[in-house]
Chain A
Amino acid sequence: MTGVPLSHFLVLAVALFTIGAVGVVTRRNALVALMSLELMLNGVNVAFLAFARWRGDALANAAVFIVMAVAAAEVAVGLALVIALFRHNRSVDLDEATRMKG
């Protein structure tokens, strides 16, 4: 573990974040979109931890815990919204939720 340079971790973080972002934008299933959001936040957590290790500093470790707690709250609200959506559409497909067009 000691030999792994910062850039490797950052590549992983950016990859997770990008996969998540692409998932949020392209996948039409609300649940998959929620999971993609989680993936983005986890990418951020990897970045925080990598930087904390690189700097030998515990500050970002605390930040990661806060991010995880907030992510849990976000998922709670998100799942409630998915259920509300399902009650109306009998599906969690975001493409069917297009009564209004941007």
Chain B
Amino acid sequence: MKDLLMLSPIWLSAMTGILVLVIDLLSARKAPRGFLGYVTAAGFAATGIAAVHYWNGSALEAPFLTGMLALDGFGAFFALLILLSGAAAALFAIDYLPQHGSDRGEYYALMAFSVCGALVFLTAVDLITMFLGLEIMSLSVYIMAAMKQSSARSTEAGMKYFILGGLASAFLLFGIAFLYGATGSLNMVEIGRYFLEHDPTRDYLFPQVAMILLVAALGFKVAAVPFHMWTPDVYDGAPTPVTVFMAGAVKAVGFAVLARLLLTVYQNPAFDEMPVSIPGLLLTLSILTMFVGNILGIVQTNVKRILAYSSITHAGYLLLGGYATMGVAGSSGASVLNDGVPFYLLTYVVSTVGAFGIVSLLGSRGEEDMSLDHIAGLGRRHPVLAALMLVCVLSLAGVPPLAGFMGKFFLFREVLAVDPNGNLPWVVIAVLNSFIAAYYYLRIAVYMYFREPGREPVSAIRGVPGYVCAGIAALLSIWIGLFPARYIAASQEVSRDSALVIATTGDVARPAASRSGKR
């Protein structure tokens, strides 16, 4: 019974999807399907409560799934981020889908299944379970991205995401195969233990190849730079509530899994001597991501694409946090995720969900044009939406005292705290990039408030759930910025859980003294 309760967030989200499907089947064919959005959101709320109640503070794995899932505080924190984005995506869709001629109940069911997959992906310890979770999440998102059948752009977005997502899944699986080849296990903890007990520097070919493949695969999911090509097109073409989910939940879960996987499997400090070391690779990706995301973001003239590049840039800052892992006291020398990262993800998810959500409310009756000219004069025509958008966008830009500023401030401070001298140049680069990024965020604000409406002024959807959601996102962006202490404390606790604890019998196998210092 305890096991069933521990697993409740996963089956609650799946049950939500099945319930939505059944209600959808029983409703009249022509009836509007908006009420299913509330059902989905309520299901996600129950899932969130269950996750916090059962997972928080427990490091216990459900015994009958021994070693398959780790249901702990780390899972609870990121589950909340996933559920927050999922619920927002369902609520924004209530008024969006009818306006865009795709009012289908399947959307809400797929959203619930996708969330279920994300939860499995997030908590998996067994690598095949992890792959299954990834596929459950991604397959649902591919379909949702192509949901707007009347729109060629939406279909295109679904197709592009499918092809590149499939590529990423194959990379992940090939990485898993190499880890299996090196250690004979498919369990993260077992693999980590094997590497701790056997000197990995003697034969590092398989772990090295596996590491590159895994980082590439998860890099796709979080839209880090060499793997970002799909991001603007897919974010732009997909129905905007789906973009909310992709930019919020998929990115958050991608980072959580990246952190847990790398920190657990590659726990042995000797791995730093691989030809391509993890910190080096993450740092390179981080700096590339920041610059490319910003430079391409500056030249965009479409609000959705600007926000897509903004989300790429944020992946860059987060990767910098991934690079600066923190040491913890312990014999194995294991390091944990920088404690700025979970908090940063929280501020990013809240603001980006708000921003994309508000974009979903602009443009009624199938309008897809989201150019800057389109939103010109929004401040005068729709003052409430414009004000909410301003808060979210300024928070993403990192203007004090909003959440985004606190997130950046805390992350950069913690990165510096790890290695004050060595990390200074990277933090300076990141701060410079936040200034560059301010340009395109402010551009949105300028167009909203200081430009005359164009020939085709924006017509916003009037719908209560969307406005309430946007309001909550904006309020949270202010609230977290003003009173961050609680969330920072939660973030510090979460990051301590990021590397799964491995009990080893003997001493950690380190490379022979003659080999160290070669780097």
Contact = CB atoms under 8 A, between A and B. Distances in A.
Interface of A: 13, 17, 20-21, 24-25, 30, 33, 37, 40-41, 43-44, 47-48, 50-51, 54-55, 57, 59-60, 62-63, 66-67, 70, 73-74, 77-78, 80-82, 84-85, 87-89, 94, 97-102
A74 B165 CA distance: 10
A85 B162 CA distance: 12
Given A30-B159, A60-B180, A84-B155, A73 B139 contact: yes
Q: Chain B's interface: helix, strand, loop or mixed, by majority?
A: helix
Contact of B170 (A40, A60, A94): A40
B152 A74 contact: no
B170 A33 contact: no
Nearest to B142: A77
A78 B131 CA distance: 18
A24 to B, nearest CB: 5
B141 to A, nearest CB: 10
A73 B132 CA distance: 11
B421 to A, nearest CB: 38
Contacts of B233: 100-102
Interface of B: 128, 131-132, 135, 139, 142-143, 146, 149, 152-153, 155-160, 162-163, 166-167, 169-170, 173-174, 176-178, 180-181, 184-186, 229-230, 232-233, 236-237
Contacts of A43: 174
A43 B177 CA distance: 10
A81 B178 contact: no
A100 B237 contact: yes
B128 A66 contact: yes
Q: Taking each of B143, B166, B185, which has the highest tally of chain A beta carbons within 10 Å of its own beta carbon?
A: B166
Contacts of B184: 51, 55, 57, 59
A97 B173 contact: no
10 contacts: A24-B163, A24-B166, A25-B167, A30-B159, A48-B177, A59-B184, A78-B166, A81-B158, A100-B233, A102-B233
Contacts of B167: 21, 24-25, 37, 40
Contacts of B152: 88-89, 97, 99
B243 to A, nearest CB: 13
A75 to B, nearest CB: 10
Contacts of A102: 229-230, 232-233
A97 B135 CA distance: 25
B132 A47 contact: no
